[in-house]
Amino acid sequence: MKYNFDEIIDRKGTSAYKVDLLKARYGTDDLLPLWVADMDFKSPDFILEAIRERANHEILGYTVRNQDFFEPMVKWVEKKHDWIMNPNWMGFSPGILPAIALSINAFTNPGDKIIIQPPIYPPFMSIVKNNHREVVFNQLLLEDGRYKMDFDGLESLIDEKTKMILLCSPHNPGGRIWSKDELIKLAEICARKNVLVISDEIHADLALKGNKHYLFPTVSEHAFNNSITLIAPSKTFNIAGLVTASYIIPNESIRLKFQRQIESAEIASGNIFAYTAARAAYQKGEDWLSQMMEYVQGNIDFVTEFIKENLPKIKPMIPEASFLIWLDFRQLDISDYELRKILINESKLAFNDGPSFGPGGEGFQRINVGCSRELLREAMDRLKTTFEKY
């Protein structure tokens, strides 16, 4: 089947976060919304059909999730990531962020330190603070337009109160796919220092052409035994509203402790349509994903070439995964406050402000290119009209 990613679907009035919250977040709703990291592509037909078929059974009562729920995921991981995984290592979570919060409460105590590596997905900071733990920043190094982990900095920051690190893999907002060697080194340091790795891999299936993502527990024995890995079909298949995710914990003692936490919170049961959608995604999603990623790659190429030709002082960081581009405006010598005002009031564009991603985000903006080429062309034209004078 040939899928149409050029189709423009009006999301206004559908409780779409990226559209219906524009007024509250930006002070106006007449902006092109290229901020929240969900795509404007229609959710795949095979997922919608599976949901409709289940809805035809007119009772939506309590539903058991059998162990065979994980079989399509196990097959998907084997095919996409070359890893034969034991389904007993897996479990269900109503979303990635709830699983991170549960991990924090299961394995750390109030006042403990948790390391994050900014610039980073903003909820990594708020989720630590909201659970009364101390955020410790190990800022990423920006070299030749690409982020690298600061391993010397990491070692120096870890003390007796440091219990956990939150890893974003692939990285958001930079789009880096961490190399196997980088992940091995991270795993060794954390195992030696007794720091548990929580690896958010929600973008794991979105590696762009020529790049390979490594699931964290596959890279070494240290990683295998000292980690909680979180995956989901939500970004991959544009079904974030169904809040379905899974954890992978090969280490039995860590897994049992995490399971006790999730069960004590009474959130181990998801909803019928989340189960239905996830199963359909992993069973039937390969062709749709391939076509979608080809289209997204075209969007990335379009944006990077457009900016290179028309706005050479703005530097896009070329992503290795996902549908997000991190734009560096620093050469324009504009404050973040002024940059935001210009984008909103003159360009009529809603991007994600760099400072919200923590230290190292100053002077940057994140844009979402998971949309039609037509909308993206309009956004770039607006950007050119506003910023070419700089």
CATH (one of 3.40.640.10, 3.60.15.10, 3.30.465.10, 3.30.70.260) for 60-284 = 3.40.640.10
What are the structural domain ranges in the chain?
17-44+287-387, 60-284
**Beta carbons within 10 angstroms of residue 356's beta carbon:** 15
Pairing of strands 162-168, 146-148: unpaired
The predicted pLDDT at position 304 comes to 98
Alpha-carbon separation of residue 159 from 96, 111, 115, 116, 303 (angstroms): 27, 13, 11, 15, 43
The predicted pLDDT at position 222 comes to 98
CATH of region 17-44+287-387: 3.90.1150.10
Selection from 223, 219, 256, 246 nearest residue 74 by Cα: 246
Contact 167, 200 (CB under 8 A): yes
pLDDT in tens, 28-60: 999 999 999 999 999 999 999 999 999 999 999
| Contacts of the segment 17-23: beta carbons below 8 A, 24+ positions apart | 18/350, 18/368, 22/350
> Can you tell me the distance from the alpha carbon of 134 to that of 136, in angstroms, rounded to the nearest whole number?
6
The predicted pLDDT at position 247 comes to 97
> Can you tell me the distance from the alpha carbon of 319 to that of 132, in angstroms, rounded to the nearest whole number?
33
The predicted pLDDT at position 68 comes to 79
The predicted pLDDT at position 340 comes to 98
The predicted pLDDT at position 120 comes to 98
Alpha-carbon separation of residue 222 from 169, 184, 379 (angstroms): 17, 8, 45
3-class state of residue 103 by DSSP? helix
What averages of pLDDT result for each successive group of 10 residues across the chain (390 residues)?
95 94 97 97 97 95 84 96 96 95 98 98 98 98 97 98 98 98 98 98 97 98 98 97 96 98 88 94 98 98 98 98 98 97 98 98 98 98 94
- Cα-to-chain-centroid distance, residue 187: 21
The predicted pLDDT at position 389 comes to 87
